């Protein structure tokens, strides 16, 4: 039997995960190769396909970011965000962008006063470059991606390929995690986020990107026209990825994935004919069974501690007072700084420093909304409102993007539990702004804007 490109890529990325685990420096070789290869493809591809290749390249880098970070594969920590920015700029040089994206140009400009405030407050002897790299690389990345994506058009088939761009390096990461901690039960001793089950890296970031992989696999499962054994294979991969996401004990990424899948399936169900609705119901039964089995295995492997984690209990079964695991205190502190410095804010990168000076606690912000208003003041408020409102207005005018609510939910939920530490929320926000065309005969639509996928 001849394997399709999808399964060949799966096998390749499984082998890649094994190779990086066996020889960690290979992660750097992998990073350098994909950076050069994807950049070359963007430069060489025709203008007609430029948008698609830029988005596919960015999706692959976003999917690989955490895997590369946990293996010290990137040349510097924020390299993935800068690569996304570079690829988008390469695309902009070849493909014009609409002047209707001015709102996102304004968003970028609104971030600049915070840099000057930070320089003034910190003095030139402070490493302002590092402050900007950690706190502005994500927002700037988002702004440029939004300018590039605004009202661009891709086909539904191309969007599915872009989603697979996210998935493939995350398959490698999942393999790596199983090799890194083959016996999960041996390293679980409480209900806190677990670095041992997260490849020795941040559980929050690992769970976030694995949740994204779960969404992609769910989309593929519900849209697949392949025979049942192949659909079950995708469901099995989803269960493996979901298991590794759950046992990080970081809830944000898993819950976000659940909301994304629910948003997609709900919208998809409303847009198809009766025959397809019946198929979706059958698929939902299989999907629910896989999820329940995945949770059962997770509960057994963690001796029930994962159930207590999601019930907001400690290892002894006592309810925790703070369901946000300390995030509410960070949120309150950052809003206090906004009240004290309402116009220009306290400057880029200053929240962590001010918090340490006032409380003696070193803690990075988990919430991009509170961070942007604390550090940028009124300019930050306006900038965040642009991000919040513009996609919704665009959605009212054009409802072709069936993934809109899933992407929008991922961005909004992720920045509220993990800020913008990784490139994923910045890039996926841009995908909200795309138009999608469907090569489906018009007579098969329920309405002109409701594509049928069979």
Mean pLDDT, residues 136-148 taken together: 93
If one counts every other C-beta atom within 10 angstroms of the C-beta of residue 326, the result is 11
Q: How far apart are the two ends of the chain, measured CA to CA in Å?
A: 24
| Residue-level pLDDT at 121 | 66
Report DSSP letters for 222-255, one per residue. HH--S-HHHHHHHHHHHHHHHHHHHTTT-HHHHH
What's the Cα-to-Cα distance from 423 to each of 61, 429, 430, rounded to whole Å? Answer: 9, 10, 11
Q: How far is CA 284 from CA 246, 269, 275, in A?
A: 20, 11, 14
**CA–CA gap between residue 349 and residue 351 (Å, rounded):** 6
pLDDT attached to residue 46: 87
- How much is the pLDDT for 134? 72
Which CA distances in Å does 327 have to 1, 154, 222, 237?
A: 52, 38, 35, 32
Predicted local confidence at residue 76, as pLDDT: 86
Overall average pLDDT of the 420-442 stretch: 88
Q: Is the model's pLDDT at 437 over the cut of 90?
A: yes
Q: Is 3 helix (H, G, I), strand (E, B) or coil?
A: coil
Report percent pLDDT > 70 for the chain: 89
Q: What is the per-residue pLDDT for 444?
A: 45
Backbone angles phi, psi at 225, to 5 degrees: -105, 10
Strands 435-437, 153-155: pairing kind: parallel
Q: Is 155 helix (H, G, I), strand (E, B) or coil?
A: strand
Q: Identify which of 8-22, 225-239, 354-368 has the greatest average pLDDT.
A: 8-22
Q: What stretches of 26-136 show up as alpha helix (H) in DSSP?
A: 26-44, 50-70, 79-94, 102-122, 128-135
pLDDT range class, residue 101, cuts 50, 70, 90: confident
- pLDDT for 382-402, tens place per residue? 999 999 999 999 999 888 999
Predicted local distance difference test score (pLDDT) of residue 136 = 84
Give the model confidence (pLDDT) of 167-189 as tens digits.
Answer: 999 999 999 999 999 999 999 98
Cα within 13 Å of Cα(240), Cβ side = 18
pLDDT (average), residues 413-437? 93
Average pLDDT score over residue span 92-121: 82
Query: What phi and psi values does residue 329 have, to the nearest 5 degrees?
Result: -70, -40
| Burial state string for 236-261 with b = 16 or more CB within 10 A and e = fewer than 16 | ebbbbbbbbbbbbbbbbbbebbbbbb
Q: Is the pLDDT of residue 15 over 70?
A: yes
- Which residue(s) pair with 153 in the sheet? 435
Q: What is the mean pLDDT of residues 77-84?
A: 93
Residue 61 and residue 433: Cα distance in Å, rounded?
20
Percent residues over pLDDT 90 in the chain? 64
Q: What are phi and psi of 23, to 5 degrees?
A: -140, 90
pLDDT at 388: 95
Two tokens, residue 398: 């054009």
Say whether 96 sits in a helix, a strand or coil: coil
Alpha-carbon span 369 to 391, nearest angstrom: 17
Say if residue 364's pLDDT is above 70: no
pLDDT band for position 331 (cuts 50, 70, 90):
confident
219 pLDDT band (50/70/90 cuts)?
very high
Judge whether residue 129 has pLDDT over 70: no
- In this predicted structure, the answer to whether residue 449 has a pLDDT above a threshold of 70 is no
User: According to the model, what pLDDT value does residue 447 have?
Assistant: 47
* Mean pLDDT of all residues in 293-306: 94
pLDDT higher for 449 or 378?
378
- What is residue 253's predicted lDDT score, i.e. its pLDDT? 93
pLDDT at 445 over 60: no
CB neighbourhood size of 156 (10 A)? 18
Quick one: angle between helices 102-122 and 350-359, nearest 10?
A: 40
pLDDT band at residue 451 using 50, 70 and 90 as cut-offs: very low
Mean pLDDT along residues 340-356: 76
| Band (408; pLDDT cuts 50, 70, 90) | very high
Which of 114-123, 156-165, 304-313, 436-445 comes out lowest in average pLDDT?
Answer: 436-445
Q: Which two structure tokens, joined as six digits, stand for 447?
A: 């309405």
């Amino acid at each position: 039997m001849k394997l399709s490109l999808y399964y060949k890529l799966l096998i390749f990325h499984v082998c890649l995960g094994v190779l990086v685990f066996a020889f960690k420096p290979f992660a750097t070789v992998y990073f350098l190769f994909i950076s050069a290869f994807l950049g070359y493809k963007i430069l060489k591809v025709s203008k007609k396909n430029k948008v698609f290749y830029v988005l596919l390249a960015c999706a692959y880098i976003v999917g690989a970011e955490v895997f590369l970070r946990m293996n010290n594969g990137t040349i510097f920590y924020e390299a993935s965000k800068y690569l996304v920015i570079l690829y988008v700029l390469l695309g902009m040089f070849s493909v014009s962008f609409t002047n209707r994206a001015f709102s996102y140009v304004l968003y970028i400009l609104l971030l600049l006063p915070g840099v000057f405030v930070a320089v003034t407050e910190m003095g030139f002897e402070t490493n302002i470059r590092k402050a900007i790299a950690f706190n502005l690389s994500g927002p700037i990345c988002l702004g440029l991606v939004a300018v590039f994506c605004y009202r661009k058009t891709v086909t539904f088939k191309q969007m599915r390929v872009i989603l697979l761009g996210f998935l493939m390096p995350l398959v490698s990461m999942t393999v790596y995690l199983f090799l890194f901690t083959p016996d999960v039960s041996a390293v679980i001793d409480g209900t806190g986020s677990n670095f041992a089950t997260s490849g020795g890296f941040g559980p929050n970031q690992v769970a976030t990107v694995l949740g994204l992989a779960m969404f992609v696999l769910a989309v593929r499962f519900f849209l697949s026209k392949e025979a049942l054994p192949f659909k079950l294979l995708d469901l099995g991969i989803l269960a493996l990825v979901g298991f590794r996401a759950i046992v990080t004990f970081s809830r944000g990424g898993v819950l976000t994935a659940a909301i994304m899948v629910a948003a997609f399936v709900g919208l998809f169900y409303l847009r198809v004919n009766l025959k397809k609705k019946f198929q979706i119901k059958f698929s939902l039964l299989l999907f629910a069974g896989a999820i329940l089995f995945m949770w059962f295995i997770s509960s057994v492997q963690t001796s029930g501690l994962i159930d207590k984690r999601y019930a907001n209990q400690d290892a002894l079964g006592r309810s925790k007072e703070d369901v946000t695991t300390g995030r509410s205190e960070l949120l309150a502190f950052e809003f206090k700084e906004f009240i004290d410095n309402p116009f220009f804010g306290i400057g880029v990168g200053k929240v962590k420093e001010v918090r340490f000076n006032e409380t003696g606690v070193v803690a990075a912000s988990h919430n991009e909304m509170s961070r942007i208003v604390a550090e940028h003041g009124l300019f930050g408020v306006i900038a965040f409102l642009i991000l919040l409102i513009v996609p919704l207005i665009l959605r009212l005018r054009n409802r072709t993007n069936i993934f809109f609510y899933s992407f929008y939910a991922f961005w909004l939920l992720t920045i509220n539990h993990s800020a913008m530490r990784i490139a994923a929320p910045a890039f996926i926000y841009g995908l909200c702004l795309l138009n999608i065309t469907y090569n489906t005969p018009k007579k098969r639509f329920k309405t002109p804007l409701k594509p049928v996928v069979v």
